[in-house]
Amino acid sequence: MSTTLKVNHEELVRPISELKTDARQRIAFDRKVIPIIFIPGIMGSRLKNRFNKRIWDPDRPGWMLWKYGIFKAATAQTKKAMLVGKEFSPEYLRVINDDGRHNKKYFAHQYDTHRADRGWGGVLWSSYGTIIKELQTRQWDRTVNLFAEFPVHAFGYNWTASNRLAGERLAGYIDAVITKYRGMGRQCEKVILVTHSMGGLVARAACKLSGADNKVLGVIHGVQPANGSPAGYWRMKGGFERPHTIPETDPMHWLKTPKRAAAHKWNTLVTKGVEFAPGISFGKGNITAWVLGTDGREVTALLGNMPGGLQLLPNKRYRDNHGCAQWLVLRDESGKRRNLPKSDPYKEIYRAKDVYWRLVNPEWLNPGEKVKSNKKYRSKTSWINYGEYLTEAESFHDALGGKVHPNTYQFYSTGIASPDRVVFTRMRDTLRSKGKRIIDMVKGDLLGKGVGAAVDAARGELTKPVAGAAKTTLAKPFAGGSLTEYVLHPSKLVTAAKGLAGAAKQVPGAMAEAAKGLPNALPRIASGMPKAIGINAAKKAATTAIGLVVRDDKRFIDRGGYRDKVDESDLLVFKENGSPAEVAFLITLETPDGAGDGTVPESSAKALKLGANRTFAIGDVDGNEGKFVEKKAPRTKPQIPPDFDEGWFDRGHEPIYKTRSATHITVTAIENMVRELGRKALGLH
């Protein structure tokens, strides 16, 4: 009869005195428990209010659209009332962890029945379900699996509140998780943190500001805005971006990922709507844009009252992708530039009140009636409240600085147009300047689209004979029967189908023969191009008359952009009746054009100073997008060649953890951490 002796890895470096020489014995390793805790980004936790009413749940997109604006007339006031309440309180919102219907739909398991207890229900499953399930069911390398097991937890949090507060609560959660496994008689000393976006700030706050450092084995940060992102500023001026702020795709996307290219085109149709005049579409819009704000007024009412949101603004350490601390560019019509901040963005930009580059319009902070302040924030006006939230953000970033857990990895995404800087153009508001704007739109709409349509038609004329030859050749085996015959006699269809293999071999020859006639067709097609361009341009002209009037209107510009009028001193000026001053300059916010993941520029996502082989870039390794980038969006070119390849559709900020590259980086980093721990335990380090 054998006996079993449990030992841990540390005991293997010394003789095991408990072993007997006259008995059959088994040695069983007592594996460590190293919980993996996933921390989502802003908007990545499902939230309810203190009255147990659902407030934020993107896993139910239909409900979100119903509540926040496509079916109901949700205004800035009603959106603020739902997400912030009358006045911000860190206790107003809490995480939804107990939604049985949601949990059953997304992650119910016959044997692992404690997933909800590990916090899985509190995070946005449509964004994070892939990575959480992958880590939980991972078949780890044998050297790692022998040493430890890795139950996966998720830590949802109130992302409207300060990251410092979320960090304090994460530190408490880490303690509770370790205590739980120790109470089960298991070895559990440390956890591993995996973060997305804002979750990186929360994890660093837990480690460096709330004392959790020694209880964390290591951290993997994905697309973290370590020093903030100008995206926050851009959105508070112009609303959450519409799809047009990301450059359109090139034909190479159809070759590399045709399925996702088709899906992107469909999503673009759904989100941007159907164009009825140049640049003017009716559609439901990006869900996030509808919910958090289609213009600066709506976004300011929300983010201006959220300490957590304000902590994503560029801080004093922020640099753009070219290493410049002055990320706000003010450019006039002569090309002369003024760059900000000189030293302090909080003072020069965020607290500015009357200049056009101010972060917020004070009147937009509280679109409803004025309320008395709560006990924590003893302020009398929304502007003073906002100032206190800014002070909290500044204090948080000053305290956190560049501090990082010593065993940290980070990865970022690049090659997608992102706001690494913000550019305003300033020009005189005259009839001449208005005419220039209109001419530019006319040139783009009439000539550009007219030529494009004509080229498409010419391409069709050129490819038609070759494609027709292939189609005719492949149809030959079926020429002997009708559709009715094949339906009534399936055996005939099977016989005819057998001839497809032979017909397919004849296709290249038939196509080559048809291609011989193309040179003769070129002169005919070329001679018809001017007429085709003119016809297509005329078609566009019919709708451009409407488009020019609407697109040059401020109300249209401010939905996914920003335009305003200022005086000689760059102060926002109005007549007594509220109309713009007669002598003024027109200020326009330019579209983001830097390299990043669409939200976080690569400069901030890779800002942490780590050792060798601890920072990785996900981008276009194969160079398929090179031609497109060089011609249409040169500033989106990565500063450093990426390490891992993912398609343009996959490597955006929100879906990054659905990619194979993000999974590979995360899994490899975890295995490296655990192997190192094992080597130390066995005295092999």
State how far the Cα of 195 lies from the Cα of 157, in Å rounded to an integer: 13
3-state secondary structure of 69: coil
State how far the Cα of 208 lies from the Cα of 403, in Å rounded to an integer: 7
Co-location of 119 and 157 in the same domain: yes
Co-location of 112 and 196 in the same domain: yes
Q: Tell me the pLDDT tens digit for each residue of 202-257.
A: 999 999 999 999 999 999 999 999 999 999 999 998 887 544 433 444 455 545 55
Co-location of 128 and 105 in the same domain: yes
If you count DSSP H runs as helices and E runs as strands, how many of each does the chain have, helices first? Answer: 25, 23
User: Is pLDDT of 135 > 90?
Assistant: yes
Q: Tell me the pLDDT tens digit for each residue of 596-608.
A: 999 999 999 999 9
Max mean pLDDT range (20-29, 34-43, 74-83, 434-443): 34-43
Does some domain include residue 529? no
State how far the Cα of 442 lies from the Cα of 440, in Å rounded to an integer: 5
User: Is pLDDT of 352 > 90?
Assistant: yes
Mean residue pLDDT of the chain comes to: 79
CATH no. for residue 198?
A: 3.40.50
3-state secondary structure of 383: helix
Could you tell me the two tokens for 462?
């050129």
Looking at residue 13, its pLDDT comes to: 57
Gyration radius (Cα) of the chain, Å: 30
The closest alpha carbon to 558, from 364, 349, 293, 287, belongs to: 293
Q: Identify the residue with better confidence: 306 or 513.
A: 306
How far is the CA of 273 from the CAs of 279, 342, 587, in angstroms?
11, 42, 28
* Mean pLDDT, residues 288-306 taken together: 81
SS (H, E, C) 598-648: CCCEHHHHCCCCCCCCCEEEEECCCCCCHHHHHHHCHHHCCCCCCCEECCC
Does some domain include residue 448? no
Co-location of 37 and 181 in the same domain: yes
Co-location of 11 and 129 in the same domain: no
Residue 55, C-beta contacts closer than 8 angstroms, at least 6 positions apart = 47, 48, 49, 82, 83, 93
Does some domain include residue 629? no
Count up the domains in the chain and report the number. 2
Q: Is the peptide bond before 477 cis (omega within 30 degrees of 0)?
A: no
Q: Tell me the pLDDT tens digit for each residue of 545-578.
A: 444 444 445 544 555 677 777 877 777 765 444 5
The fraction of the chain above a pLDDT of 70, given in percent, is 67
Co-location of 130 and 4 in the same domain: no
State how far the Cα of 163 lies from the Cα of 228, in Å rounded to an integer: 13
State how far the Cα of 158 lies from the Cα of 166, in Å rounded to an integer: 7
Q: What is the DSSP string of 239-283?
A: -SPPGGGSPPPPTHHHHH-HHHHHHHHHHHHHHH-EEEETTEEES
How far is the CA of 254 from the CAs of 260, 455, 480, 648, in angstroms?
8, 18, 36, 11
Name the band, by pLDDT with cuts 50, 70 and 90, for residue 280: very low
Co-location of 26 and 120 in the same domain: no
The fraction of the chain above a pLDDT of 90, given in percent, is 44
State how far the Cα of 144 lies from the Cα of 670, in Å rounded to an integer: 9
The closest alpha carbon to 486, from 255, 220, 6, 477, belongs to: 477
How far is the CA of 335 from the CAs of 415, 426, 585, 592, in angstroms?
27, 9, 15, 18
Does some domain include residue 157? yes
CA triplet 360, 57, 235: central angle to 5 degrees? Answer: 20
Q: Identify the residue with better confidence: 612 or 264.
A: 612
Co-location of 24 and 140 in the same domain: no
Structural domain boundaries enclosing 18: 1-30
Co-location of 106 and 25 in the same domain: no
pTM, rounded to two decimals? 0.79
Co-location of 25 and 41 in the same domain: no
User: Is pLDDT of 338 > 50?
Assistant: yes
The closest alpha carbon to 119, from 146, 152, 149, belongs to: 152
Letter string b/e over residues 131-170, b meaning 16 or more CB atoms within 10 A of that residue's CB: bbbbbbebebeeebeebbebbbbbbbbbbbbbbbbbbbbb
User: Is pLDDT of 467 > 70?
Assistant: no
Does some domain include residue 168? yes
* Among 292-296, 538-542, 599-603, the least confident range: 538-542
3-state secondary structure of 352: coil
State how far the Cα of 106 lies from the Cα of 474, in Å rounded to an integer: 45
User: Is pLDDT of 627 > 70?
Assistant: no
Name the band, by pLDDT with cuts 50, 70 and 90, for residue 69: low
State how far the Cα of 325 lies from the Cα of 316, in Å rounded to an integer: 8
Which residues lie across from 4 on neighbouring strands?
26
State how far the Cα of 123 lies from the Cα of 517, in Å rounded to an integer: 60
Does some domain include residue 200? yes
Looking at residue 85, its pLDDT comes to: 87
Residue at 508: amino acid letter: P
The closest alpha carbon to 470, from 496, 495, 503, 493, belongs to: 503
SS (H, E, C) 80-121: HHHHCCCCCCCCCEEECCCCHHHHHHHHCCCCCCCCHHHCHH
Does some domain include residue 43? yes
Co-location of 134 and 22 in the same domain: no
Co-location of 15 and 133 in the same domain: no
Does some domain include residue 428? no
Residue 9 DSSP one-character state: G
Number of C-beta neighbours around residue 423 at 10 A: 18
User: Is pLDDT of 56 > 70?
Assistant: yes
